[in-house]
């Protein structure tokens, strides 16, 4: 079973931090978790990513929401905490997965 919540938090934090990663022997910029942008996380793009995540979280028919349960909620939680200073830091232990949805 894939932990999409942990993946969403991790990908969001890597994008915010500008943490590069290696793929096929090359260093690459991190990818924004919802839009897939490879641009650095500047204020305008962080806000746009947060809004896109909030809108997407409401679309239960979206392949991303259906195919990766918890992923979009994790992005909303991580950006809400890191960018909007709203709510606690997302916790990655499985026992609290349902509480993240309540915080969104």
Task: Read off the pTM.
Answer: 0.84
**Secondary structure letter of residue 29 according to DSSP:** -
What is the domain count for the chain? Answer: 1
Rg (CA), the chain: 13
Asked if pLDDT for residue 104 goes beyond 70, the answer is no
Rounded mean pLDDT, 72-100: 83
pLDDT, the chain, mean: 89
Domain of residue 88, residue span = 4-103
Q: Are 92 and 25 in contact (CB under 8 A)?
A: no
């Amino acid at each position: 079973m894939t932990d999409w919540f942990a993946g969403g938090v991790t990908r969001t934090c890597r994008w915010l931090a500008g943490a590069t990663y290696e793929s096929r022997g090359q260093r690459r910029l991190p990818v924004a978790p919802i839009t897939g942008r490879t641009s650095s996380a500047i204020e305008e793009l962080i806000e746009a990513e947060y809004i896109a995540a909030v809108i997407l979280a409401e679309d239960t028919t979206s392949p991303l929401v259906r195919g990766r349960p918890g992923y979009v909620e994790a992005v909303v939680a991580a950006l809400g905490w890191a960018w909007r200073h709203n709510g606690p830091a997302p916790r990655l232990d499985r026992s609290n997965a349902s509480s993240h949805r309540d915080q969104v």
